[in-house]
């Protein structure tokens, strides 16, 4: 019944944010940050057990850990960047949100370069 | 986990308290002290939320192996 907990937490946080927002919009932003972090922290244990299962499956399939590690890093960067940019956009700062997303895209590209190079090398081997 | 859910109530409580104090002080003609109360409330809540965010970043780093 974790979903009931999460929904109750979200509704409660929403009501409190609406109450606070009319008087103190800056505290409403911090309140929504806190609600988002708490919901993620409630889910962290489940995410890590799913990742353990995926790791085990990839070991059984003989996939190199380098690729899985890269994918996990990309997911982590995407999550954190999304979190930050959503908060900025909620507070009305769309420009800062777009810059956070831009930086996250660049960082993900840097992480993906070795995989792209490996794919291209495999292609070249096939061609020649 | 209960303590972190308490944090939401604490932040909302600080927000309501600050706005009530602000309107009282404004009524009494002490608007600059009202500004200080607002700033103090913001600083307190900021410290709490930053600790929570540091916790989030540590968790994400360890779960997704971002080092």
**B44 at interface of A, judged by CB pairs closer than 8 A:** no
Chain A residue at shortest CA distance from B11: A31
* CA B26 – CA B24 distance, rounded (Å): 5
Lookup: tokens for A103: 């930086």
Name the CA radius of gyration of chain B, rounded. Answer: 17
Q: Is the pLDDT of residue A46 over 70?
A: yes
Q: In Å, how far is A15's CA from the nearest CA of chain B?
A: 10
**A79 at interface of B, judged by CB pairs closer than 8 A:** yes
Work out whether the CA dihedral A67, A69, A75, A78 comes out positive or negative: negative
**Alpha-carbon distances of A126 from A1, A63, A87, A115, rounded to whole Å:** 52, 20, 47, 17
Provide, as residue numbers in chain B, all residues whose Cβ is less than 8 Å from the Cβ of A47.
63
Residues 6+ apart with CB under 8 A from A90: A29, A32
φ, ψ at A118 (rounded to 5°): -65, -40
At B1, the pLDDT band (50, 70, 90 cuts) reads low
Provide, as residue numbers in chain A, all residues whose Cβ is less than 8 Å from the Cβ of B61.
76
pTM comes to: 0.83
Annotated domain spans of chain A: 1-46, 64-128
**B55 at interface of A, judged by CB pairs closer than 8 A:** yes
Query: Is A63 or B3 the better-scoring residue by pLDDT?
Result: A63
Mean pLDDT confidence for A46-67: 88
Q: Is the pLDDT of residue B2 over 80?
A: no
Provide, as residue numbers in chain A, all residues whose Cβ is less than 8 Å from the Cβ of B57.
80
Percentage of chain A modeled with pLDDT above 90: 61
Q: Model confidence over A91-113: pLDDT tens digits?
A: 899 999 999 999 999 999 999 99
Lookup: tokens for B66: 């971002």
Provide, as residue numbers in chain A, all residues whose Cβ is less than 8 Å from the Cβ of B41.
24, 27
Determine, for residues A30 and B46 on separate chains, whether the beta-carbon distance falls below 8 Å. yes
Lookup: tokens for B57: 């970043």
* CA B11 – CA B38 distance, rounded (Å): 13
**B39 at interface of A, judged by CB pairs closer than 8 A:** no
Q: Model confidence over A63-74: pLDDT tens digits?
A: 888 888 888 899
Q: In Å, how far is A22's CA from the nearest CA of chain B?
A: 10
Q: Which of A7, A82, A93 is nearest to A42 (CA)?
A: A7
Q: Model confidence over B5-58: pLDDT tens digits?
A: 888 999 999 999 999 999 999 998 888 898 999 999 999 999 999 999 999 999
Region of A99 (left: φ > 0; alpha: ψ -120 to 50; beta: rest) is: alpha
Q: Which pLDDT score is estimated for A64?
A: 80
Lookup: tokens for A56: 């085990």
Q: Is the pLDDT of residue A128 over 80?
A: no
Q: Which pLDDT score is estimated for B51?
A: 92
How many CA atoms does the CB half-sphere of B57 hold within 13 Å? 9
Q: Which pLDDT score is estimated for B54?
A: 93
**B2 at interface of A, judged by CB pairs closer than 8 A:** no
At A115, the pLDDT band (50, 70, 90 cuts) reads confident
Percentage of chain A modeled with pLDDT above 70: 99
């Amino acid at each position: 019944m974790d979903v009931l907990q999460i929904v109750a937490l979200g509704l409660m946080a929403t009501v409190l944010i609406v109450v606070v927002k009319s008087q103190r919009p800056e505290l409403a932003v911090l309140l929504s940050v806190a609600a988002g972090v708490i919901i993620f922290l409630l889910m962290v244990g489940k995410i890590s057990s799913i990742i353990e299962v995926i790791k085990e499956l990839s070991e059984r399939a003989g996939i190199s850990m380098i690729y899985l590690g890269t994918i996990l890093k990309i997911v982590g960067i995407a999550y954190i960047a999304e979190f930050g940019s959503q908060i900025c956009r909620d507070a009305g700062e769309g420009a800062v949100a777009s810059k956070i997303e831009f930086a996250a895209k660049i960082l993900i590209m840097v992480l993906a370069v070795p995989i792209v190079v490996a794919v291209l090398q495999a292609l070249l081997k096939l061609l020649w | 986990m209960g303590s972190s859910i308490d944090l939401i109530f604490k932040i909302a409580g600080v927000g309501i308290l600050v706005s009530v104090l602000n309107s009282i002080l404004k009524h009494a003609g002490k608007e600059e002290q009202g500004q200080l109360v607002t700033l103090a409330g913001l600083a307190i809540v900021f410290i709490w939320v930053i600790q929570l965010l540091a916790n989030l970043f540590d968790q994400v780093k360890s779960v997704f192996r971002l080092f």
